[in-house]
Amino acid sequence: MSIIEQILIALALAMDCFSVSISSGLILKRYDIPSILMMAFCFGFFQALMPLFGWYGISYYGKYVESFDHWIAFGMLAIIGAKMIYDYFKGGGRSSFDPTKFTVVLLLAIATSIDAFAVGISFECMNMKTLGAITSPIIIIGVTSFVLSAIGNIIGVYVGQRFRFPATLIGGIILVGIGIKILIEHL
């Protein structure tokens, strides 16, 4: 696999992280560097870890997980997004969604990285049989997701500070939309 292919795969996988990070930045509305770095790290870490799991697990469990992994990603994102939408209407526009909480970030990181598991399965199918063969793509995926997540948060904060609109509602809709996109891509 060429370096260009690795970068393109990494960019494709990082788009969900980027979108979710923008939504989180819109809600945060302030440059909270530790929170931005925590989210970027979690997203990068899980985006890198899941292909490794997919590559390793394909020989044992791949055919079982592949049939429903998209439902897990959809369910997690839809639940989080629906809760944000519900909280927006219930709370008169105020948000109880807190993108600075580690548990929230962890759930989002796992939900957005489930398609990376399938990429790991594809590594095995492309005859990448050794850990050395998948090390470069995994590092590129993790670093790309980290960088785009941090940039997404910064963009979200920047826009959130300058424009007044229902960030929690929009963030919830984006999360549900990403979940639906993942579901449609795999059906």
The string of pLDDT tens digits covering residues 77-118 is 788 778 778 877 886 655 556 788 899 899 889 988 888 887
The string of pLDDT tens digits covering residues 12-65 is 889 889 988 998 898 888 899 999 999 999 999 999 999 998 888 775 665 666
- What's this model's pTM, rounded to 2 decimal places? 0.78
pLDDT of residue 48: 95
Contact 113, 50 (CB under 8 A): yes
Contact 168, 29 (CB under 8 A): no
Closest CA to 46 of 138, 155, 176: 138
Contact 163, 34 (CB under 8 A): no
CA atoms lying within 13 Å on the CB side of residue 31: 6
The string of pLDDT tens digits covering residues 116-171 is 887 887 787 677 878 888 999 999 999 999 999 999 999 999 998 888 777 677 77
